[in-house]
Amino acid sequence: MPAMTMIQALRSAMDLMLERDDNVVIYGQDVGYFGGVFRVTEGLQAKYGRSRVFDAPISEGGIVGTAIGMGAYGLRPVVEVQFADYFYPAYDQIVSEAARLRYRSAGDFFAPITIRMPCGGGIYGGQTHSQSPEVLFTHVCGLRTVMPSNPHDAKGLLIASIENDDPVIFLEPKRLYNGPFDGHHDRPLVPWSQHPLGEVPEGYYTVPMESAAVFRPGNALTALTYGTMVFVCEAAARETGIDAEIIDLRSLWPLDLPTLVASVKKTGRCVIVHEATRTSGFGAELAALVQEHCFYHLEAPIERVAGWDTPYPHAQEWAYFPGPARVGAAFRRVMED
Amino acid sequence: MSQDETPLRLHVPEPTGRPGHETDFSYLHLSRAGEVRRPPVEASPADTSDLAYTLVRVLDDEGDAIGPWAPEADAALLRRGLLAMMKTRTFDARMLIAQRQKKISFYMQCLGEEAIATGHALALRQGDMCFPTYRQQGLLLARDDVPMVDLICELLSNERDPLKGRQLPVCYSMKRAGFFSISGNLATQFVQAVGWGMASAIKGDTRIASAWIGDGATAESDFHTALTFAHVYRAPVILNVVNNQWAISTFQAIAGGEATTFAARGVGCGIASLRVDGNDFLAVIAASRWAAQRARSNLGPTLIEWVTYRAGAHSTSDDPSRYRPSDDWKHFPLGDPVARLAQHLRRIGAWSEEEHQKAQSELDAQVSAAMKEAERYGSLADGHLHSPAAMFEDVYKVMPRHLEEQRRQLGLVRKG
């Protein structure tokens, strides 16, 4: 099996879907000739032509709005918003239109679109190149929000997203584009070619929606997380020696509740970890779900480790980013009771 | 501040007419019927600049069709158009009463604007897709294959409502009639229409899209976005701006119409643009055909500003006498589209007062019968609705676990 970076895996998914389905079209800012600022769409325009893969004006609302119209026609657009930090101008189209089209028309029209957005911090991206806005999508009924943590899942989940007839917000942690990152910013980058999850089948496969992965089996506590924080949690488990069961949600909402509940019922302890700010973050929903479904199995309060309730700073990146030390401390706290 | 400088002042546009004061309609910059040239459909966008500041008109004050825009339209087609307009007006009047009788919760009429949607509908082909606002019911009512009963059931939110009671009255959706699902969020559909047109071009189809927006909603960002994308990709789309002078209580000047036109925005974005008498059914047909032909010939989008007047209240929740003269429509220089087409048809010997009365009686009976039939399936008021269980369907294609659970919590489905 070939080794791929997450960038290559995502490109492979789109290449394959362009090949398989004439209705798949790909566009966004700098996505066409140039191949994307992160190279995710490199070579696709040359291979499939400008009517399938093309550059778009700098207008997130226009990109998403036209995609909804194309979806209503019968195409399957896969569009890119250059950074998740810049989706806000498209929020009306996403919330009021894409998410509700099937419902309000009783299935007369629907929006089978995938909106790709590089997200997350840990790259000195500052305020507008680091945000994790997932909760602004998980809160919207009618949307599917997914986030892969590795090349294997990235390809399978993107194919599943493109094939799905619901609108999918596909969040790509850009810190994981070239290799896994556990929060130890002072250590050299390990490329995906040296990680088992960097082995990606060349052909078609899917990672189903609403399926979480047990990333690291364990018995002491359950860490509910996704994206870059999966590797941070793994480092925290390694460094504290606590046998954490790490659940990579993959699909944030709708999610794989049985896998979460089974794990917390087994371990009796739960730590929720995400990069996004804490208050009303997605962790609050996860904590509520765990409390509702696992109350009599819990042996300690549910902990949340998240970004601070501040805009994402530049110089203070590593004081902001919830690294393995902060996650490890939470692991220890829940084990104290 | 030095003494030779005057203090700056904020300019806030006002309509000339307010309750008790007559409107000065000279701001409209009208042209005489037949006066404005008709360029070839191949015209470059820049070559339509003059058309964005004048007014395409066919019917003169006597009801004669004159000038280069007079369309090839036989009497049968025009009679069909007149009946579609009368049908739309009759439908609106009856639904207004139904709202006052509390049979429906809300309604929006298109009084005075009937020519635009009905005339445009007759210029499109089966398979073209309109992305309407809530005031283009004429697109549906112009079609014989759209049963009025279906529309009224949507208005009543009853157990036959095709939208299962999920939408406010008037927010129809009818894909098979080329009528996109109406959203409460203004302007969103304008850019979606461009995307639909782009899709048609991507697939090498021959169908075109027709986008709709009001004067007030042109201030929304999606208006600008739609023009940019339509221009960039030369999308086969007709961008219709219905300038009825009012956005609820707000005069069109506050939307940016003062000393300019909405058609001029099109030219500025590199889009061929027309400004057309929206109460002149013949001009509506001619301009719509011109734009449709451009789109179908890969010549790109056309923006049309339809100059008309919102004769009725904004909605059943609105009282226009609080912000504009109550007799404003009587003074609007472009008159009433129904009266003007009827006058023309009489003049060419294709219509008579007797026929008019007879047609009106038949339409009254048709609408009443449809209302009666629709009411057999219940209404919001009497509680004959779709089951609350239907509330959870269609959020996603396949109902996720959490919605199944919530449906159970409502006591509608037993566990297991």
The set of residues, in sequence order, having a beta carbon less than 8 Å from that of B5 and lying 6+ positions away, is none
The confidence band for B416, taking pLDDT boundaries of 50, 70 and 90, is very low
Judging contacts by C-beta atoms under 8 Å, the chain B residues touching residue A89 are 221
Alpha helices per DSSP H over B142-262? 148-156, 188-202, 221-232
| Neighbouring-strand partners of residue A253 | A145
B222/A166 touch (CB, cutoff 8 Å), yes or no = no
Task: Determine if the pTM surpasses 0.95.
Answer: yes
A97/B397 touch (CB, cutoff 8 Å), yes or no = no
DSSP per residue, A138-187 = HTSTT-EEE--SSHHHHHHHHHHHHH-SS-EEEEEEGGGSSS---S-TTS
Separation CA B83–CA B77 (nearest Å): 10
The answer to whether residues B301 and B230 touch, using CB atoms and an 8 Å cutoff, is: yes
Is the CB of A107 inside 8 Å of chain B's CB atoms?
Answer: yes
B192/A68 touch (CB, cutoff 8 Å), yes or no = yes
Could you tell me how far CA B120 lies from the centroid of its own chain?
9
The answer to whether residues B394 and A103 touch, using CB atoms and an 8 Å cutoff, is: yes
SS3 content of chain B, % helix, strand, coil (to 5): 45, 10, 50
The set of residues, in sequence order, having a beta carbon less than 8 Å from that of B2 and lying 6+ positions away, is none
| pLDDT at site B380 | 86
CA dist B294 → B145, B199, B224, B235, B304 (Å): 27, 17, 21, 10, 13
SS3 content of chain A, % helix, strand, coil (to 5): 40, 20, 40
| pLDDT at site B4 | 81
Nearest beta carbon to residue B185 from set A96, A102, A142: A96
* Cis peptide leading into residue A148 (ω within 30°): no
Q: What is the DSSP letter of B181?
A: P
pLDDT at B147 over 50: yes
* H or E element in which residue B276 lies: strand B272-277
| pLDDT at site B414 | 59
Residue B292: half-sphere exposure toward Cβ, Cα within 13 Å: 21
Separation CA A311–CA A294 (nearest Å): 33
Residue of A nearest to B154 (CA): A105
Segments in chain A below pLDDT 50: none
Paired sense of beta strands B302-307 and B237-243, if any:
parallel
Separation CA A89–CA A117 (nearest Å): 13
The answer to whether residues B157 and B380 touch, using CB atoms and an 8 Å cutoff, is: yes
Is the CB of A203 inside 8 Å of chain B's CB atoms?
Answer: no
* H or E element in which residue B274 lies: strand B272-277
Judging contacts by C-beta atoms under 8 Å, the chain B residues touching residue A59 are 225, 228-229
* H or E element in which residue A230 lies: helix A229-240
* Cis peptide leading into residue A254 (ω within 30°): yes
Neighbours of B25 (CB within 10 A): 16
The answer to whether residues B59 and B342 touch, using CB atoms and an 8 Å cutoff, is: no
Judging contacts by C-beta atoms under 8 Å, the chain A residues touching residue B401 are 210, 254, 257
Q: Whats the size of chain A, residue-wise? A: 337
Residues B156-177 pLDDT 10s? 999 999 999 999 999 999 999 9
Give the residue carrying structure tokens 């829940």. A334
Neighbours of B101 (CB within 10 A): 9
Is A129 catalytic? The answer is: yes
Give the residue carrying structure tokens 């396949």. B398
Instruction: Report helix, strand or coil for B41.
Output: coil
| pLDDT at site B413 | 66
The set of residues, in sequence order, having a beta carbon less than 8 Å from that of B358 and lying 6+ positions away, is none
The answer to whether residues B374 and B153 touch, using CB atoms and an 8 Å cutoff, is: yes
The two structure tokens encoding residue B28? 């409209």
> Which ipTM did the prediction report?
0.97
Separation CA B344–CA B353 (nearest Å): 12
Separation CA B237–CA B292 (nearest Å): 8
Nearest beta carbon to residue B196 from set A73, A142, A257: A73
* H or E element in which residue A279 lies: none
The answer to whether residues B280 and B337 touch, using CB atoms and an 8 Å cutoff, is: yes
Is the CB of A315 inside 8 Å of chain B's CB atoms?
Answer: no
User: What's the CA angle centered on A284, arms A278 and A289, to 5 degrees?
Assistant: 160
Give the residue carrying structure tokens 């005339």. B119
For the segment B207-230, the average pLDDT, to the nearest whole number, is 98
User: What's the CA angle centered on B320, arms B317 and B324, to 5 degrees?
Assistant: 160
Separation CA B379–CA B235 (nearest Å): 41
User: What's the CA angle centered on B368, arms B367 and B374, to 5 degrees?
Assistant: 90
Separation CA B325–CA B20 (nearest Å): 6
Closest CA to A256 of A214, A206, A288: A214
Residues B312-370 pLDDT 10s? 999 999 999 999 999 999 999 999 999 999 999 999 999 999 999 999 999 999 999 99
Interface mutation vs chain A, best among B163, B181, B190, B233, most A CBs within 10 Å: B181
Give the residue carrying structure tokens 């006591």. B411
* H or E element in which residue A93 lies: none
Exposed/middle/buried for residue A189 (C-beta within 10 Å: 0-12, 13-18, 19+): exposed
Q: Whats the size of chain B, residue-wise? A: 416
Paired sense of beta strands A213-216 and A244-248, if any:
antiparallel
